[in-house]
A = this chain, B = another copy of it.
Amino acid sequence: MSERDDAPYELFYWPAIQGRGEFVRLVLEEAGVAYVDVARQPESEGGGVGVLREMLESELDQTPSFAPPMLRDGDLLVSQTANICLMLARRHGLVPDDEPSRLHANQLQLTIQDWLTEVHDTHHPISVADYYEEQREEARERASFFIEKRMPNFLEYVERVLDSMGGDWLLGHELSYVDLSMFQMIRGLEYAFPRAFDSYRHDVPGLITLIDRVRDRPRVAAYLESDRRIPFNERGIFRHYPELDAG
């Protein structure tokens, strides 16, 4: 882009989880642009989790962020996952340039973000400041509602979107950043709720095909094989607690 020099983007996100940062990482990887995952660098090279805390408390930025992920490009510092993803997609050809397509993409992306918040709340329905183990009973109730009602609602909705667009991708005939985010959502559900997800899998054939298409993109495939991809784990948003899953 003419407005950028060649310095890599700097991504600031918790270094040990996929979390919301993963939605940004997937866009950066598919776009094939250079970036530094800052907090994953050694502390001796300016990395580590302390960098994130310093940034969140800094009085220096004119646009303070409420929470990671943040993305820096020179003087520009941007936060909120859907906001970062849309910016990158517009700059690097991962969303069409016309207003209706951008609005539709953002509409889908924001629906994925809402869905993600509901996934998070299955293990933290009461307080993010407390451990899962301290809200296990409430988590069981919330997860049960999520699995029985919300997961099928969201899945059916996505299948309808795919039907109505009539192409290979969520926006129709070209891959966009929203497909990457949908891939992450489905991989996460498969990890966190394998039994529940399996019970819905056959209701969403279009979606399953879409996810396979994303998985087979050469840059996505290379990324997933690399050590830049942090494995799912029980500190992230998608957590596999067998007692929260249902068959």
Which A residues lie at the B interface, using CB under 8 A? 59, 61-66, 76, 78-80, 82-83, 86-87, 99-100, 103-104, 106-107, 110-111, 113-114, 117, 121, 125-127, 129, 138, 141-142, 145, 149, 153-154, 157, 160-161, 164-165
Contacts and interface: CB of A to CB of B under 8 A. Distances in A.
A106 B126 contact: no
Contacts of A65: 107
Contact of A164 (B59, B83, B103, B153): B59
Contact of A80 (B107, B125, B129): B107
Contacts of A86: 106
A111 B142 contact: no
Contacts of A80: 106-107, 110-111
Nearest to A158: B66
Contact of A110 (B64, B82, B164): B82
A187 B157 CA distance: 33
Copies of the chain in the assembly: 2
Contact of A103 (B76, B103, B127, B157): B76
A62 B103 CA distance: 13
Contacts of A76: 99-100, 103
A24 to B, nearest CB: 13
Contact of A62 (B142, B153, B165): B165
A59 B100 CA distance: 19
A158 B138 CA distance: 31
A207 to B, nearest CB: 14
A142 B141 CA distance: 14
21 contacts: A59-B164, A62-B164, A63-B107, A63-B161, A63-B164, A64-B160, A64-B161, A65-B107, A66-B154, A78-B104, A79-B107, A80-B110, A80-B111, A83-B106, A86-B106, A87-B103, A125-B125, A125-B138, A126-B138, A126-B145, A138-B141
